[in-house]
């Protein structure tokens, strides 16, 4: 028999989880000098037989994460028959979930990979929100999942980031009387755009506090009440021209507004 210390890492998915667990255990013995042989995407009995044949000829352990019940049962039975030590790294913990949390496992491989894909989509959406924040590049309007428009301090940026964490690519565009909105706003479907409005008093209070934090006088034009009314009137005209749904963000938390945006867009897109 080959006397090398070998661990066959077996999985019906990529096998990364099993390999990390084996490495963690191996470091407790002689610095972790053990040979790992990863066997990913095990999908049938023949794959298991091949691994068992190799393991039977070597000084080895099989460490596996198999969630498909028929394959797991086959591995356990055949390993016992062949006298090969096979260690289930995943199912004991899954059984604990069942007993303690009263949940039923899906027994579906590759779900971790799906979670990884979701993570990377979220990162991509966050990068998108940063790149197309505050109307920096109007090209983002055409490829965004959601476009937010509104005057300054209507929470466009925080909303964009919050929605990005949910996986949505969001561009936002400030509406200012002195600056014509990008033409792209008038070419996208109305079901992709949301207008954000706010009460004049609430906006005045927000902007006054903003100026105070910056060490500026509260009488600056930015917080001037007449100027605020002018901006809001202009913004509402643009929103009417776009034909997009409008949400009043006064006294609303970011989470509440974001959920409302998604609900409104869902209704718009299904109508």
- pLDDT tens across 140-181, in order? 999 999 999 999 999 999 999 999 999 999 999 999 999 999
Q: What is the pLDDT of residue 85?
A: 96
Question: Which of helix, strand or coil describes residue 30?
Answer: helix
The secondary element (H helix, E strand) that includes residue 10 is strand 2-11
Task: Determine contact, residues 14/40, Cβ cutoff 8 Å.
Answer: yes
Q: State the Cα–Cα distance between residues 231 and 31, nearest whole angstrom.
A: 68
Architecture of domain 114-270: 3-Layer(aba) Sandwich (3.40)
Task: Determine contact, residues 84/52, Cβ cutoff 8 Å.
Answer: yes
Question: Which of helix, strand or coil describes residue 58?
Answer: strand
Considering the chain, tell me which residue range(s) the CATH 3.40.50 domain(s) occupy.
2-109, 114-270
Output the six-digit token pair for 80: 């016992």
Q: Left (φ > 0), alpha (ψ -120 to 50) or beta: where does 257 sit?
A: alpha
Query: How many Å from the N-terminal Cα to the C-terminal Cα in the chain?
Result: 70
The secondary element (H helix, E strand) that includes residue 11 is strand 2-11
Q: State the Cα–Cα distance between residues 8 and 102, nearest whole angstrom.
A: 32
What is the β-pairing status of strands 86-88 and 246-248?
unpaired
- For 71, residues 6+ apart whose C-beta sits below 8 A from its C-beta are 12, 42, 43, 44, 45, 48
Buried (b) or exposed (e) across 10-23, using 16+ Cβ within 10 A?
bbbbbbbebbebbe
Which of 254, 199, 206, 183 minimizes the C-alpha distance to 232? 199
Q: What is the pLDDT of residue 2?
A: 61
Beta strand residue intervals within 128-220, DSSP E: 146-150, 170-174, 193-197
| Fold of domain 2-109 | Rossmann fold (3.40.50)
Query: Which DSSP symbol is given to 177?
Result: T
Mean pLDDT (10-residue bins), the chain, 271 residues:
83 85 86 83 92 93 92 95 94 87 77 66 90 93 96 96 94 96 95 95 91 76 92 97 95 92 84 69
Burial class (CB in 10 A: 0-12, 13-18, 19+), 92: exposed
Query: Which DSSP symbol is given to 215?
Result: T
Beta strand residue intervals within 13-133, DSSP E: 35-39, 58-65, 86-88
Q: What is the pLDDT of residue 265?
A: 82
Which of 180, 177, 223 minimizes the C-alpha distance to 201? 223
Q: What is the pLDDT of residue 96?
A: 87
């Amino acid at each position: 028999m080959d006397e090398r210390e070998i661990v066959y890492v077996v999985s019906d998915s990529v096998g990364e989880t099993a390999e990390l667990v084996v490495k963690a255990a191996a470091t407790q013995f002689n610095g972790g000098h053990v040979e790992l042989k990863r066997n990913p995407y095990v999908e049938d009995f023949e794959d298991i037989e091949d691994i068992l044949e190799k393991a039977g000829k070597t000084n080895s352990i099989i460490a596996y994460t198999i969630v498909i019940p028929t394959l797991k049962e086959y591995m356990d039975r055949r390993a016992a028959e062949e006298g090969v030590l096979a260690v289930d790294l995943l199912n004991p913990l899954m059984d604990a979930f069942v007993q303690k949390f009263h949940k039923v496992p899906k027994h579906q491989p590759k779900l971790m990979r799906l979670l990884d894909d979701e993570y990377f989509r979220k990162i991509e959406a966050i990068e998108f929100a940063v790149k197309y924040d505050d109307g920096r590049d109007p090209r983002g309007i055409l490829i965004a999942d959601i476009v937010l428009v509104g005057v300054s301090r209507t929470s466009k940026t925080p909303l964009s980031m919050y929605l990005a964490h949910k996986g949505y690519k969001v561009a936002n565009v400030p509406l200012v009387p002195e600056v014509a909105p990008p033409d792209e706003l008038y070419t996208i479907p109305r079901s992709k755009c949301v207008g954000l409005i706010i009460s004049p008093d609430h906006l005045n209070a927000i902007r006054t506090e903003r100026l105070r934090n910056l060490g500026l006088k509260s009488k600056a034009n930015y917080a001037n009440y007449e100027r605020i009314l002018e901006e809001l009137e202009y913004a509402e005209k643009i929103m009417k021209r776009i034909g997009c749904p409008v949400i009043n963000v006064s006294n609303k938390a970011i989470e509440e507004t974001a959920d409302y945006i998604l609900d409104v867009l869902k209704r718009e897109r299904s109508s």
